[in-house]
Amino acid sequence: MAADNSTTAMQTDSRDWADRWRHINKILDRRGPFCDNSFREGYENTLLPQCKVLVIGAGGLGCEILKNLALSGFKDIHVIDMDTIDVSNLNRQFLFRPSDVGRPKAIVAAEFVKNRVAGVVVTPYHGKIQDKDDDYYKQFQIVICGLDSVEARRWMNATIVNLSQELGEAIPIIDGGTEGFKGQARVIIPTVTSCYECSLDMLNKPTTFPICTIANTPRLPEHCIEWAYVLEWPKVFKNEKLDTDDPKHIQWVFEAALERARQFKIAGITYSLTQGVVKNIIPAIASTNAIIAAACCNEAFKIATTSAPYLDNYMMYTGNEGVYTYTFQHQKKPDCPVCGENSVNVDVNKNWTVEEFIEWLKEKPDAQLKKPSLMTADNKKIYLQAPPILERSTRPNLEKKLSSLIEDGDTIIVTDSTLPFSLQLVVSLI
């Protein structure tokens, strides 16, 4: 960006200087062979100055992502993280110092980047992604996920894909993940490319051991730890659920595992291994985080500037046997419950009973339904074919008018053995 375009604050800031952005201006000041048609020369003409980018997670990947975005010309960065800083994070989460231990990651990371990189605004939120609603998420043009949990990713993916469908405009998601020396980066353009849910089947499963092994023939320290928290904890504490974030609980598991390991003459139980097994933490390697975060941020930069084609759509990085990367186009699942084209608008006579409605569904030649079960999107049962107990309790609904159970515009989730997944009917009562 040209110096005369900087804000007053930036001109007076000793951390700003002429030519500070020369590295990105080389790419942005003239059209190159790979630029998109919509590309216009100059930093100001890209999305970078106004683009609101949301970073989910301020941990190992998140620290890298925040730093990279700030150093690539993004100005308006938001970050969400629910965790507080633990001593064990300091070896790789370089935005944090020993004095920050116990403070919220999002807040400390935002402060650090703001103080270090002139002209960048980082807005933190210390809390859960589920605390925020669609109005919050729709202000962003790009979402980057640096998460370590499948559940959080599924929620984020579903939220952004649904929102994109509603807005009629896709909010790209860039998802990074690492496991030891391995990692992946992918670009999800909602409804255009495959989404996170589409690829659920190909995820690595967390390592679990057969329960009979941990009960009878432990050989590894991990077996003893699993014995302590899977079998012993519920026996001793009955109804109290193990809280994996409570150090007292982890300490209890650690001591129980240690005692068990002593009986079986197994070495290697430590507090941190206990924490790792219970929380299913795969050791994070700083450099893998750096590689994956860099790949994610380059994609964000290309998407925001259209200066080069973005990743289409999945990059795997394998560093545990030499170095291997592989890029491929992960295919969209037509029956994906999140992005699949399984939503249909139907006009329904408002005088129909549920039974008449079901008969009509079965006769619809394009649907091919045999025994449809119906629930509303907010989880109210209309009629279920099985199991028998639910069939019996929903049977009285068959005689009721559909309009007494749903409102105009409501969505009905239909499942049927003839459907690969489900069908969502958006019902207009006429």
Partner 1 sequence: MLKIWSIKKDNAQAEKKKPKVSAAQIRVQKDLTELELPSTMEMSFPDESDLLNFNLSIEPDEGFYKGGVFRFTFNINNNYPHEPPKVRGIQKIYHPNIDLDGNVCLNILREDWKPVLNLNSVIVGLQYLFLEPNAEDPLHKDAAEDLRTNRKSFEYNVKQSMRGRDVKGNYYDNVMAKN
Return the residues of window 135-174 that contact partner 1 according to CB under 8 A. Answer: 141, 150-151, 154-155, 158-159, 162, 164-166, 168-172
C-alpha–C-alpha distance, residues 205 and 175, integer Å: 18
Binding track, positions 24-63, relative to partner 1; x by CB under 8 A:
------------x-x-------xx----------------
Q: Which does 215 bind (CB under 5 to 8 A by kind): Zn ion, partner 1, none?
A: partner 1
- 366 contact partners, CB below 8 Å, separation of at least 6: none
Q: Which of residues 366-405 bind Zn ion (CB under 5 A)?
A: none
Nearer to partner 1, 99 or 379 (CB): 379
**430 lies in the binding site for partner 1 (CB under 8 A):** no
- 111 contact partners, CB below 8 Å, separation of at least 6: 122
C-alpha–C-alpha distance, residues 69 and 143, integer Å: 12
State the nearest-atom distance from the C-beta of 154 to partner 1, in Å. Answer: 7
C-alpha–C-alpha distance, residues 259 and 282, integer Å: 24
State the nearest-atom distance from the C-beta of 161 to Zn ion, in Å. Answer: 7
Q: Where are the alpha helices (DSSP H) in 34-147?
A: 60-71, 105-116, 134-137
Nearer to partner 1, 101 or 158 (CB): 158
**348 lies in the binding site for Zn ion (CB under 5 A):** no
Asked if 250 and 256 count as a contact pair (C-beta separation under 8 A), the reply is: no
Q: Which does 352 bind (CB under 5 to 8 A by kind): partner 1, Zn ion, none?
A: none
Among 356, 390, 389, CA closest to 373: 390
State the nearest-atom distance from the C-beta of 188 to Zn ion, in Å. Answer: 8
Number of chain positions touching partner 1 (CB under 8 A): 74
Q: Is 55 left (phi over 0), alpha (psi -120 to 50) or beta?
A: beta
Whether omega for the bond prior to residue 115 falls within 30 degrees of 0, making it cis, is: no
Nearer to partner 1, 83 or 410 (CB): 410
Nearer to partner 1, 219 or 380 (CB): 380
**384 lies in the binding site for partner 1 (CB under 8 A):** yes
* C-alpha 216: how far from chain center: 37
**87 lies in the binding site for partner 1 (CB under 8 A):** no
Nearer to partner 1, 270 or 393 (CB): 393
Catalytic residue from among 51, 145, 212, 339: 212
Binding track, positions 324-343, relative to partner 1; x by CB under 8 A:
-------------xx----x
**175 lies in the binding site for Zn ion (CB under 5 A):** no
Strands 314-318 and 324-328: antiparallel
Q: Which does 339 bind (CB under 5 to 8 A by kind): Zn ion, partner 1, none?
A: Zn ion
C-alpha–C-alpha distance, residues 70 and 120, integer Å: 6
Q: Which does 343 bind (CB under 5 to 8 A by kind): Zn ion, partner 1, none?
A: partner 1
C-alpha–C-alpha distance, residues 312 and 330, integer Å: 8
Of the candidates 2, 18, 323, 426, which one interacts with partner 1 according to CB under 8 A? 426
Among 430, 385, 383, 429, CA closest to 410: 429
- Crossing angle for the helix pair 105-116 and 60-71, nearest 10 degrees? 30
Stretch that binds partner 1, among 15-23, 120-128, 355-363, 372-380 (CB under 8 A): 372-380
Query: What is the chain's alpha carbon radius of gyration, rounded to the nearest angstrom?
Result: 26
Stretch that binds partner 1, among 5-13, 101-109, 111-119, 404-412 (CB under 8 A): 404-412
- Side chain identity, residue 171: I
Nearer to partner 1, 121 or 390 (CB): 390
Q: Which does 195 bind (CB under 5 to 8 A by kind): Zn ion, partner 1, none?
A: Zn ion
Of the candidates 53, 55, 147, 198, which one interacts with Zn ion according to CB under 5 A? 198
> Is position 51 annotated as part of the catalytic site?
no
Of the candidates 205, 241, 248, 265, which one interacts with partner 1 according to CB under 8 A? 205
C-alpha–C-alpha distance, residues 424 and 120, integer Å: 43
Asked if 24 and 294 count as a contact pair (C-beta separation under 8 A), the reply is: no
192 membership: H or E segment, kind and range: none
Catalytically active residues are 212
Q: Which residues bind Zn ion (CB under 5 A)?
A: 195, 197-198, 336, 338-339
